[in-house]
Structure 1
């Protein structure tokens, strides 16, 4: 059995993971750098390579190492993946982590204004029904904004939330363009969902 777990650890140490990816349980691993814990489950908080190290304790350390190969910088028209950091009624602040399929060396700050969420019925859009902190969204860079933040838009059908967790901490799946469902409890939450490719 020990050889099997060693093989699993070795294979997982070479896999690329994205933010929000479920990695393991706290009863089996110690959460290391680049991870966070919710409800006894360890999740990736950054984009990078999963690595498992043995520690002096009985449990191995599970961490995410950021790749230091090639990186990208957002430009106007770029499609990006970003993590929602906080929201208010007028805008969502996000951390841009990938440009296309290339990771950023460090997170870039971005803003999605409420008028840039949907292409139609913009006056009816409510931020709380579109994004929640922790959501991973796919968006387009529409402006370089000020010196601190890029302006992003999710008006296209393929843009919006691509990964979200419910209030109970479970992964959610889209059931319509504006709703996601908890995969375990079946509870429905409002989101501006990205159309799957």
Structure 2
């Protein structure tokens, strides 16, 4: 029987930057690589360092990142800010709920 996959949740430490390159589903903070989504850890060989990624089972969610165009529905307006629910990231509809403040 094969061993069960290594499952991580957002914020879990996946590895060290000196030994791995951060791939999809991960981010770097300081000397460590962390999971940015829930899923199984995969390590692909690379030159000079292997690439680690965390991938969800099933359909991948469209996750907003800095610099990406989003379509949002304004849900609440206050004198200091507007709250919005993000419905599309780039050309992809989101499957998970994301909120933003303008």
Which category of TM-score, normalised to the shorter sequence, fits these structures? 0.5 to 0.7
Q: Which residue of 1 aligns with 2:8?
A: 17
| Structure 2 CA distance for aligned equivalents of residues 42 and 94 of structure 1 | 29
Q: Could you tell me which residue of structure 2 aligns to residue 43 of structure 1?
A: 34
The alignment of Structure 1 onto Structure 2 pairs a total of residues equal to 71
Higher helix proportion: 1
Structure 1 residues 106 and 17, CA, compared in 2 at 3 Å: closer, same or farther?
Answer: farther
CA deviations 1:38-88 (Å, max 9, x no partner) are 001000001111111112x1211100111107xxxxxxxxxxxxxxxxxxx
Change (3 A) 1:25 1:65: same
Residue 33, structure 1, aligned to residue 24, structure 2: yes
Runs of 4+ in 1 over 2 A off after TM superposition: 92-95
Q: If the length of structure 1 is used for normalisation, what is the TM-score?
A: 0.31
Alignment RMSD: 3.1
- After TM superposition, the structure 1 = structure 2 runs for residues 85-124 of structure 1, keeping only pairs within 5 Å, are 106-109=95-98
Corresponding residue of 2:53: 63
> Which blocks of at least 5 consecutive residues in structure 1 are unaligned?
1-9, 70-88, 96-104, 112-197
Larger-Rg structure: 1
Higher relative contact order (CA closer than 8 Å, sequence separation 6+)? 2
Mark the CA change 1:25 to 1:64 in structure 2 (over 3 Å): closer, same or farther. Answer: same
